[in-house]
Structure 1
Amino acid sequence: MIFNWIFIARLTSLLVVLVLFFNGSTAQNPIITNVFTADPAPLVYKNTVYLYVGHDTATVDAKTYHMSDWLVYSTTDMVNWQSYGPCLTTKDFKWAAYAANAAQCIERNGKFYWYISIIHKAEENSKGGVAIGVAVGDSPTGPFKDALGKALITNDMTTDMKHSWDDLDPAVFIDDNGQTYLFWGNGSCKWVKLKDNMIEVDGPIHTFTPKNFTEAPWIYKRKGIYYLVYAAHFPESVEYCTSESIEGPWVHQGVVQDTVPKSSTTHPGIIDFKGKTYYFYHNGVLPTGGNYRRSVCVDYLNFNKDGTIKKVIQTLDGVKSANLK
């Protein structure tokens, strides 16, 4: 009889765990498992996190990337993610050739501006190479359309690096005074002010090279400190600099994240949501995953008392939901 009660108690506990799991009480890493995703760019809007990602569709034996669209997901608890499917494709930009590289969407005055990096056609407006465009929509999930009908930044406008892919990975940030900044780059980091309409540059393009910088900048602000977080070295880890001004000078602080499993690249994205700070990145750990078949993950981001970032310990066994104790 005692054995039966012990057995029943243990079975009940197991059932509770299973119910909690299937109700989505804990999150899994990678957070998206039915498709391959990369270059996460989270956005918080009206108590919801919207996640914009690249879509890896390369075959298992591919030797390069194949990305033709961008996907959007949302969550209100950092556990259960709703898919909206492809919300923007390379075909939406008539001046573009191919390659749906890293992108970020941001809201301003009720409009949503999605900055993308993509390979430009060789024509009268550009000799080709990676360029930055911008799409606009009335909601976080669109529909979106090309806001300019041409590239915002072309490879011909930046000449400090001699390769054709130095205009990758746009990251946009609206400062407390309302000024918008666009950061991007591969090999060097570039930034420019944007006009209030979000689709025109406002002044010259500035170029600098943070220590160990490779690509994928992300701008984050906390307690008056600006953080420039970026992919460093190759294979890529993630490092960061801090500054009292978004225009610099920047002081290198160290490593945020070590290299990731089964992917030579990674890409940071940081948000604050319901009292916690979250750090998004990608690796290649899904079955049949790898350099060209990547997977987006998320972990908590924690800080020391002096504002420096504690190194992220990557987890594959799930993170607790933001609304759980």
Structure 2
Amino acid sequence: MPANACLEGHQHKPIIMMKKNLLALLLTVIISFSLKAQNPIIKDIFTADPAPIVHKGTVYLYTGHDTASVTATNYKMPDWHVFSSKDMVNWKDHGVLLSPQTFSWATGDAYAAQCIERDGKFYWFVSTFHKSNADSKGGSAIGVAVSDSPTGPFKDAIGKALITHEMTTDTKHGWKDIDPTVFIDDDGQAYLFWGNGSCKWVKLKKNMIEMDGQISVFKPQNYIEGPWVYKREKLYYLVYASAGTKPEMIEYCTATNPAGPWTYRGIIQKNVPNSFTTHPGIIDFKGKSYFFYHNGSLPTGGSYRRSICVDYMYYNPDGTIKEIVQTTEGVKPAK
């Protein structure tokens, strides 16, 4: 072996080791970034309008599904998905579990929806559009599907729309009856809230598929759409997308009675990245409060190609909500 062969071998070893160290460092950075950058939490499809529930130690997340092209100037939302997680970090996609085609009376896109459990059944309230026929002149409508499981199969619970365009007359535009949110009070009374342009609400019978009384209409400050109603301790919360600025922000009111009066409390989430709209979904899980929303931050994302995120939510001692801090890190695994 030439004398300089050994020398060259020794010279190459530091270079090889340096390359290995650089590669290891790069992999560490990539892994570290992927672990920290949890938001958006769903990355393989575009999702919108988050509606989480907690059932038997698992979070079920009901979502819309954006499929519009990169250059589209309107929504294309063919169906609803369900995801589940036991730790708020790892999410399983249960696939398409519902679409407007599930309802014989429905047509158009799969707008915001929310599912709730009662007496072992799961009622999924959805917003879409009604076909023009003897029952309706068309326009937005709210239906309800039912299942024995949070992941289906779901079927139309009543064979017709629960809320039709003709039932509300305070505004005239065709999409005024969208974005249902539903909750059950401590006394067992269920309430349905919804609406674009104004907020509507009505009591539901215990079977969850019939109205119990007349529809009421009111207009919280800056309200535009996407209500989320829930109760925490002795306060009722009405959280919604606001029209005070463009793009939308999230503002809220509180009340001591679900029928109101509602007291305006202010902004809790400012504009989101790369999306005109945002939409709230709120749960408590394993001792922490979580705020779900959507933005347009995935590659090729935007106002019609949105993605769901989640961050922590905190309350002040008087029950008011602290401003949501939007992060790319998201939340840590719930224990």
Tell me the TM-score normalised to structure 1 length: 0.92
How far is 1:207 from its partner?
A: 0.3
The C-alpha deviation readout for 1:47-79, integer Å capped at 9, x for no partner, is: 100000000000111111001100000000001
The C-alpha deviation readout for 1:213-271, integer Å capped at 9, x for no partner, is: 00000012112111100000142100000011111000000001001111110100100
Amino acid at match of 2:69: T
Aligned residues: 315
1:315 matches 2:299: no
Aligned residue number for residue 146 of structure 1: 156
Question: Could you tell me whether the CA contact under 8 Å between 1:27 and 1:78 is conserved in 2?
Answer: no
Amino acid at match of 2:221: K
1:123 matches 2:125: no
Amino acid at match of 1:311: E
Q: Distance in 1 between matches of 2:290 and 2:212?
A: 31
How far is 1:313 from its partner?
A: 1.2
Runs of 4+ in 1 over 4 A off after TM superposition: 10-22
The C-alpha deviation readout for 1:156-198, integer Å capped at 9, x for no partner, is: 0000011111101000000000000000000000000000000
Question: Could you tell me whether the CA contact under 8 Å between 1:27 and 1:319 is conserved in 2?
Answer: no
Which ranges in structure 2 are unaligned for 5 or more consecutive residues? 1-17
1:240 matches 2:258: no
Equivalent residue for 1:263, pick from 262, 267, 275? 275
SS at 1:201's partner residue?
Answer: coil
Amino acid at match of 2:80: W
Amino acid at match of 1:29: N
Equivalent residue for 1:196, pick from 202, 206, 220? 206
Aligned residue number for residue 286 of structure 1: 298
Q: Distance in 1 between matches of 2:82 and 2:175?
A: 25
Q: Distance in 2 between matches of 1:140 and 1:198?
A: 16
The C-alpha deviation readout for 1:264-285, integer Å capped at 9, x for no partner, is: 1010010000000000000001
Q: Which has the larger radius of gyration?
A: 2
Q: Distance in 1 between matches of 2:275 and 2:28?
A: 36
Q: Distance in 2 between matches of 1:220 and 1:271?
A: 9
Amino acid at match of 1:255: I
Which ranges in structure 1 are unaligned for 5 or more consecutive residues? 1-6
Question: 1:180-191, aligned counterparts within 5 Å?
Answer: 180-191=190-201
Aligned residue number for residue 223 of structure 1: 233
SS at 2:133's partner residue?
Answer: coil
Amino acid at match of 2:232: R
SS at 1:91's partner residue?
Answer: helix
Question: 1:99-178, aligned counterparts within 5 Å?
Answer: 99-178=109-188
Q: Distance in 1 between matches of 2:199 and 2:143?
A: 17
Question: Could you tell me whether the CA contact under 8 Å between 1:43 and 1:271 is conserved in 2?
Answer: yes
Q: Distance in 2 between matches of 1:131 and 1:64?
A: 19
Q: CA RMSD in A?
A: 2.1
- % identical equivalent positions: 64
Equivalent residue for 2:57, pick from 27, 32, 47? 47
SS at 1:248's partner residue?
Answer: coil
How far is 1:16 from its partner?
A: 8.7
Amino acid at match of 1:245: N
